[in-house]
């Protein structure tokens, strides 16, 4: 992997995992030292991260990891959810194979088991996998690329409220209904059910974020 790509992926991973939390400010030389790379590939990586909306780059002053407000997170979800609902509709329209259905069904079974154990951390990771699989089956590369970028922006917010989430029993039922509609090729029902699911889940997430003092709010 070229040095610029290694720098980009390493920095992105550290930001998304919270190792470089929002508000962190580093000089370009400090980033290069952190990654044991020269400044040129680091500079190219920082430009990409700024385009992703993850950092602010200031010439001669380095970078600052962006801290999104709850209002901004809510706006991101309004776009993210709209695109994901469309992806579910397209997936239902294209149809899924028996192997696709088996893979998605297995993920949901694992999620239900995690819910029964009260393992919200494991459930959340499986939830990401389930939604990612649905998007991956929609057949629209541009839509997929836009969702990946938005997913990066909202990932830290989702991680921040994992321990505050109630047991996702309702989500488990909703996921089963969505998969059934997609498997049946009923694109209208798939879109309707997915929209209901996203509206409820997004409202819950934003409400939990507003309870945390670590995320800024705009009055």
Residue 218 confidence (pLDDT): 45
Residue 130's pLDDT is 97
H or E segment at 26?
Answer: strand 25-26
Report the SS3 class of residue 184. coil
Write b or e for each residue in 5-26: b if 16 or more Cβ atoms lie within 10 A of its Cβ, otherwise e: eebbebbbebbbeeebebebeb
pLDDT, average across residues 183-193: 97
Instruction: Give the CA diameter of the chain.
Output: 57
Secondary structure of residue 110 in the 3-state scheme: helix
Q: 58 φ, ψ to 5°?
A: -120, 120
* pLDDT computed for residue 83 by the predictor: 96
Q: Is the pLDDT of residue 216 over 90?
A: no
Does 201 have pLDDT greater than 90?
yes
Cβ atoms within 10 Å, residue 218: 7
Among residues of the chain, what percentage have pLDDT more than 70? 97
Please determine, for residue 214, whether its predicted confidence score (pLDDT) is greater than 60: no
CA distance 205 to 97: 32
What is the reported pTM? 0.80
For residues 12 and 53, is the Cβ–Cβ distance under 8 A? no
Task: State residue 219's pLDDT score.
Answer: 39
**Is the separation of the CB atoms in 22 and 68 below 8 Å?**
yes
**Position 197 confidence tier, pLDDT thresholds 50, 70, 90:** very high
Looking up tokens 């950092």 gives 55
Q: What sign for the dihedral angle of Cα 213, 123, 9, 33?
A: positive
How many percent of the chain have pLDDT more than 90? 61
- Please give the mean pLDDT across all residues of the chain: 90
CA angle 181, 171, 85 (to 5 degrees): 50
CA distance linking residue 127 with residue 120, whole number of Å:
10
pLDDT tens-digit readout, 18-69? 788 888 999 989 999 998 999 889 989 999 999 888 899 987 778 999 887 8
Q: What is the pLDDT of residues 120-167, one digit of tens each?
A: 999 999 999 999 999 999 999 999 999 988 888 878 777 778 888 889
| Segment 53-110, tens digit of pLDDT | 889 998 777 899 988 788 888 998 999 999 999 999 999 999 999 999 999 999 999 9
């Amino acid at each position: 992997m070229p040095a610029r790509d290694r720098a980009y992926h390493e920095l992105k991973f550290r930001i998304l995992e919270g190792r470089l939390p929002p508000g962190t400010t580093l000089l370009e030389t400090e980033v290069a030292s952190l990654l044991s790379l020269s400044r040129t590939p680091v500079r190219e990586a920082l430009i990409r991260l700024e385009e992703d909306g993850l950092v602010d780059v200031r010439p001669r002053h380095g970078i600052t990891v962006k801290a999104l407000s709850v209002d901004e997170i809510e706006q991101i979800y309004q776009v993210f959810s709209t695109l994901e609902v469309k992806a579910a509709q397209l997936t239902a329209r294209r149809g899924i194979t028996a192997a696709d259905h088996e893979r998605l069904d297995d993920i949901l079974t694992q999620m239900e088991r995690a819910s029964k154990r009260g393992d919200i951390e494991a459930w959340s990771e499986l939830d990401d996998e389930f939604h990612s699989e649905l998007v991956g089956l929609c057949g629209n590369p541009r839509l997929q690329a836009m969702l990946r970028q938005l997913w990066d922006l909202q990932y830290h917010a989702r991680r921040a409220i994992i321990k505050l989430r109630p047991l996702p029993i309702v989500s488990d039922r909703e996921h089963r209904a969505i998969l059934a509609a997609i498997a049946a090729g009923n694109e209208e029902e798939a879109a309707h059910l997915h929209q209901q699911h996203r509206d409820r889940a997004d409202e819950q997430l934003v409400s939990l974020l507003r309870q945390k003092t670590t995320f800024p709010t705009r009055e």
